Each structure stands twice: as structure tokens, then as C-alpha cells.
Structure 1
């Protein structure tokens, strides 16, 4: 998947008005995910992503394995993206959906293996990943 296709898919699925908004949502979600993952996992995922998008998985705090809940994940995405929590949840879910199509199933399995079960709804088809978020 190429950069423009990834961003276009996020824009469409998240119902965003511009490619710029889709880029911001993608960056916010992937940077936050990369903070939650440990060791080389963000780099491994980035190696399968298009240039530009891969950079979001390799920012300065990537691979720190910082422990935070799914609620905190969505809060961080909301702040990074500069949108209200319900929008951030919806956008993050769209980004993760596209991520799952852009990288191998093995890589998705590796990512999910590092996350607690409460993150499962974020990766499940048809879910909005909102089980615990009170917005």
C-alpha cells in the first residue's frame, strides 16, 4: 500500500473532510500506538509501511513500551489530533483498520501480543473500539 492510498483510506473510513485531517489522525494514532509498543516492534511495523507513514511509528518515544490503558490511548490520540474524544476514537479505529490491511497478519499479531486484552476491540472488525470510553 502506498502513502496516498493509506491516507485516502483513512480519510474515507473516518469520514474526514480533507487528506490533511486524515494525515493528522494517522500520525496521532500511530505515534500513540508506537509509544505503547516495546523494543523493536514499532520499527518492525514501520518497515512494512509507506514512507512518511512509517515515520510515525519511529518517533522519539517509539518502542518505550509505556504502560497505559485503552482509555488513555484514546485520550492521547484526542490530544495529539486536537479533536474531541468521540471523534478521536472513531478516527483511531479507522487508522488501525487501514494499518491491518497495510502490514502482514504476522506483524499485527506481534503488535497485539504486546497489548493487553482491553485493546482487542480496537483491532476487531465492526467494533468502534469504544467499550470503556465514556465520552
Structure 2
């Protein structure tokens, strides 16, 4: 999936203009990069268009996952995208749904496996059948 298609899909799913979808995508992927281990972020980035890959890059000082819950995830996305919690949640779901379509080989399920169970409402609708979120 190319960058423009990715953004268009997020815009359509979130019911926002493309410019807003870009902001929500950026904020969600940057926050996701904070939450994932460096290796998982790089695996995910490898399957995305170049502009999105840059949002997931980790440095040696950010190789470890920053552990925070779903509410904090929504708050961080909201702050980065200047969005209220409801809009941030909608954008996050739209980005996760689009990620699910954009990447192959079970990579999305690998990403979801790094997220605690409380993330269920944000990602569950995008998981492959039979995949579970960790109980941590």
C-alpha cells in the first residue's frame, strides 16, 4: 500500500479530511513506536511506505518499549495530534485497521501481541481470527 492510499484509508475510516488523517497517522505511529520494542518497530516499518517508516525509527536509547496503558496511548496521540480523546480513539482505530491491511505475514498480530489486554478496544477488530492480545 502506498502512502496516499494509506492516508486516504485512515481519512475514510476516521471520517476526517486527509490533512487530519496525516496528523492522526503520525501521532499514532510515533506513539506506537514508543510502546514497541525497537526490533518490532523496525519490522513494522519495513513494510510501510517510506514517509511512515520514518515515524517508527528507534534509536539505541529508545530500543526498549516504554510501558504505558491504553488510556495513556490515547492521551499521547491526542496531545501529538491536538485531538480530544474521542477523536484520538477514532483515529487510532482507523490507523490500526489500515495497518492491518497494509502489512503482511502476521506482522500486525506480532505488534498486537506486544500490547497488554487493555488495548483490546483499540485493536481487537483488526486482529486476525484466533489471535489474542497478551494478558499482561
TM-score by structure 1 length?
0.85
| Worse-matched range after superposition: 110-119 or 51-60 | 51-60
1:22-67 deviation per Cα after TM superposition (whole angstroms, max 9, x unaligned): 1110000011011000131101000000110111111557643000
Provide the C-alpha distance between the structure 2 equivalents of 1:32 and 1:45, rounded to a whole number of angstroms.
Answer: 14
The structure whose residues are more often helix, as a share, is 2
1:39-96 deviation per Cα after TM superposition (whole angstroms, max 9, x unaligned): 3110100000011011111155764300000000000000000011111111111011
Provide the C-alpha distance between the structure 1 equivalents of 2:70 and 2:113, rounded to a whole number of angstroms.
Answer: 15
Q: CA RMSD in A?
A: 1.7
Provide the C-alpha distance between the structure 2 equivalents of 1:124 and 1:115, rounded to a whole number of angstroms.
Answer: 11
Equivalenced residues, count: 125
Shift >2 Å, 4+ stretches = 59-64
Please list, as runs of the form range in 1=range in 2, the aligned pairs for 1:1-135 lying within 5 A after superposition: 1-17=1-17, 19-58=18-57, 63-125=63-125
TM-score by structure 2 length?
0.85
